[in-house]
């Protein structure tokens, strides 16, 4: 990898080749080496989903990664949920896209917020996150550091009910208990249940409450000042639209002659293209079509 590209060297005279080789250190190929190594090794990504049951967590995860991660899921009845304790269930799947391998782990937290008494129901979740940090620390301090499996939770999607008037006490407590440990991305679940003005109001309210309670949610990184204007605009819009309002769908429907993932209602179709609210507005154009 430290040799100059052959094609280029051929067109140079012997003296020029000599000069050229003197100037050539080889670090220009470093990005390719890093890239090749990373692609070969693959990536680990652990995503946690939390929020009251029935808010569409499994549906969204399945639609995000185009897989069925919840094949053997057991749903509890009302009586069982009264004294339900929070469980931590891991679903792992290997995904490959254009030769890039991803070991995706979804950490589900069934039972969160479902019991009658939800005092400290986030405790098993914070304990789990801490355990993963400790395990990683132990592995890093050990001898076999090359093959560490990274099980730390990289991101937590927190589902907020669209039916309330902002955050519930349990939402505030959960996010405050976790915000120092994991990147929290708050989402407004089932956004198709609200009209655009309601969504705007709810987002505003949630943003105010996040500020008021000093919750630190995930902040998108600043984009570089030399990026082009279109990219900067996209970046601004993305930041302004947080908390994202999402729609999940596991079914493919036909809208305007195209097959899309969406929800088919008696009055029309809502397109759930990877969830962002902006995309839902595209879906709105499809409304009214039966």
Binding region for ligand GDP (CB under 6 A) out of 35-43, 79-87, 185-193, 227-235: 185-193
Residue 63 beta carbon to ligand GDP: minimum distance, rounded to whole angstroms? 8
Choice between 175 and 187, CB closer to ligand GDP: 187
CA nearest to 188, candidates 170, 175, 206: 206
Q: Among the candidate windows 23-31, 189-197, 209-217, 279-287, which touches ligand GDP by CB under 6 A?
A: 189-197
Asked if 20 contacts 4 with a C-beta cutoff of 8 angstroms, the reply is yes
276 makes contact with ligand GDP (CB under 6 A) = no
| 175, 247, 269, 276: residue in contact with ligand GDP (rule CB under 6 A) | 247
CB of 29 to ligand GDP, least distance (A): 46
Q: Does 261 bind ligand GDP (CB under 6 A)?
A: no
Q: How far is CA 98 from CA 39, 61, 102, in A?
A: 10, 21, 11
In the complex, minimum distance from the CB of residue 57 to ligand GDP, in angstroms, rounded to a whole number: 3
Q: Is 42 in the site for ligand GDP (CB under 6 A)?
A: no
Q: 149, 90 in Cβ contact below 8 A?
A: no
The site string for ligand GDP over 46-65 (x = CB under 6 A, - otherwise) reads -------xxxxxxx------
Please select the residue that binds ligand GDP; options are 111, 248, 262, 283, rule is CB under 6 A: 248
Report the residue number, 57 or 179, with the smaller CB distance to ligand GDP.
57
**Chain position whose Cβ is nearest to ligand GDP:** 56
190, 215, 262, 283: residue in contact with ligand GDP (rule CB under 6 A): 190
**How many residues line the site for ligand GDP (CB under 6 A)?**
12
Does 111 contact ligand GDP by CB under 6 A? no
Tokens for 148?
């560490």
Return residues touching ligand GDP (CB under 6 A).
53-59, 190, 192-193, 247-248
């Amino acid at each position: 990898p430290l040799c100059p590209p052959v094609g280029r060297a051929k067109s140079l005279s012997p003296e020029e080749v000599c000069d050229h080789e003197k100037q050539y250190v080889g670090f220009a190929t470093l990005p390719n080496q890093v890239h090749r190594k990373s692609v070969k090794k693959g990536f680990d990504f652990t995503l946690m989903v939390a929020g009251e049951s029935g808010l569409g967590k499994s549906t969204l995860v399945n639609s995000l990664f185009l897989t069925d991660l919840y094949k053997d899921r057991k749903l509890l009845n009302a009586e069982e949920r009264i004294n339900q304790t929070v469980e931590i269930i891991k679903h792992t799947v290997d995904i490959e896209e254009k030769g890039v391998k991803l070991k995706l782990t979804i950490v589900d937290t069934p039972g969160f917020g479902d019991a009658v008494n939800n005092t400290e129901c986030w405790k098993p979740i914070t304990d789990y996150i801490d355990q993963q940090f400790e395990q990683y620390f132990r592995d890093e301090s050990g001898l076999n550091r090359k093959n560490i499996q990274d099980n730390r939770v990289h991101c937590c999607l927190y589902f907020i009910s669209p039916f309330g008037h902002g955050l519930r006490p349990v939402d505030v407590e959960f996010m405050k208990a976790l915000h120092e440990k994991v990147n929290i991305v708050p989402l407004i679940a089932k956004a198709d249940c609200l009209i655009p003005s309601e969504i705007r109001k709810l987002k505003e309210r949630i943003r105010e409450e996040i500020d008021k309670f000093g919750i630190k949610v995930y902040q998108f990184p600043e984009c570089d000042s030399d990026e082009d204007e279109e990219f900067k605009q996209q970046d601004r819009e993305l930041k302004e639209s947080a908390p994202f309002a999402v729609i999940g769908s596991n079914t493919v429907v036909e809208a305007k002659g195209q097959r899309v993932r969406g929800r088919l209602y008696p009055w029309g179709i809502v397109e759930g293209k990877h969830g962002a609210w902006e995309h839902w507005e595209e879906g709105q154009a499809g409304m009214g079509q039966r």
